Copies of this chain bind each other. A is one copy, B any other.
Amino acid sequence: MLVDRSDRAAVGRIEGLGDLSHASLTYSPDERFAFVFGRDGGLTKVDMLTRTVVARTLQAGNSIGGAISDDGRLVAVSNYEPGGVKVFDAGTLDLVADLPMPGKTIGLVDVPGRRFAWTVWDTGEVFLGDFSGAEPVVTMLGNAGKNPFDAVLTDDAHTYLVGLFGEKGVTAFDLWDDSPEPQKFLTDYGKTGEDMPVYKMPHLQGWAFTEGQYALPAVGRHALLWVDRDSRETVATTEMHGQPVFVIAQPASPYVWVNFATPLNDTVQVVDSRSHDVVATLTPGKAILHMEFAPRGAEVWISSRDDNKVLIYDTRTREKVAEFPAEAPSGIFFTARAHQTGL
């Protein structure tokens, strides 16, 4: 569904994008084209102006996401089946590079200088691919640890953070360093209690960076972990309503907003990054899957899948200001993402 953020309304519908359960997309630098990564392995290029599919390739059996290079020339896709990374020309979707990897790839992000970073679930290896020259140069940066489930790049493109599922912890790589050493932290959180089954893997693209801290979801716990960005020491833990899924910083504010894994996914909580206290608990609707902020933070759009609605909240009053019908809405992606590194 195509929406007009100013009008707070749906303006069109685009079909033929394949399996969009847990899909994601990214935008060209001019915000005109969307590149949609489907779970059927489809990569689809959509023209937002004409609302048509202008190119589509079924490039794998199952893909988990992708990214566009900083100059807008290349689109890279992270594949589960058969694994590996494929890189396409953003204009034509012609294959530019096929990079087999020893397993499923996750956490693929764009890195400045026509580069991409990604991680292999099966082996824990982290790679940096440089596509600025005639031939791609792929470098193994190091091993993150056991079964990395997602990774994220800080907004300054300085640190690539890899979350681990097979062991406790997060591993950081300094991408401003030519030969970064893996730096593991948060290796012992929650070791005094028993972990719960993980109903839904948390997302790291939503990891919040605020007040010199990382706000991280505790895997298998009803908790948010706060880590100092420089020292990587844990500074606080916030007990939450459920298992965090997305932890997203409200732009230009001290607040992070959190949604939760099923069956507690009717709730959204707001946490103050200074006090680490929950300052608001909202129950916007059934199956709250995603939240997307207006780029300067004035409002947040919330998808309520099982209510078939998109809800719009004012972030200052935290009251609902509008809503509109949508069929089982999930991810919301405003075009201003085109201008953010690592998204």
Contact = CB atoms under 8 A, between A and B. Distances in A.
A251 B70 CA distance: 11
Interface residues of A, number: 42
Nearest to A115: B316
Nearest to A132: B316
Contacts of A210: 156
A281 to B, nearest CB: 21
A263 interface: no
A204 B115 CA distance: 32
Contacts of A132: 316
**Copies of this polypeptide in the complex:** 2
Contact of A112 (B31, B113, B252): B252
A161 to B, nearest CB: 15
Contacts of A336: 336, 338-339
A253 B112 contact: yes
Contacts of A5: 29-30
Interface in A304-343: 315-316, 336, 338-342
A157 B176 CA distance: 26
A316 B71 CA distance: 12
Contacts of A294: 29, 70
B252 A157 contact: yes
Nearest to A32: B6
A211 B254 CA distance: 19
Interface string A170-206: 0000001000000000000000000000000000000
A224 B302 CA distance: 44
A136 interface: no
A230 B252 contact: no
A102 interface: no
Contacts of A315: 112
Given A156-B252, A158-B254, A112 B316 contact: yes
A318 B104 CA distance: 36
Nearest to A337: B339
A45 B253 CA distance: 29
A340 B340 CA distance: 11
A297 B340 CA distance: 10
B296 A339 contact: yes
A292 to B, nearest CB: 13
A112 B176 CA distance: 32
Given A156-B211, A158-B254, A339-B339, 14 more contacts: A29-B294, A70-B298, A71-B299, A112-B253, A112-B298, A113-B316, A157-B253, A176-B253, A176-B254, A176-B274, A295-B338, A295-B339, A296-B339, A336-B339
Closest 4 CB pairs of A and B: A295-B339, A157-B252, A252-B341, A70-B298
Interface of A: 5-6, 29-31, 70-72, 110, 112-114, 132, 155-158, 176, 210-212, 229-230, 251-254, 274, 294-299, 315-316, 336, 338-342
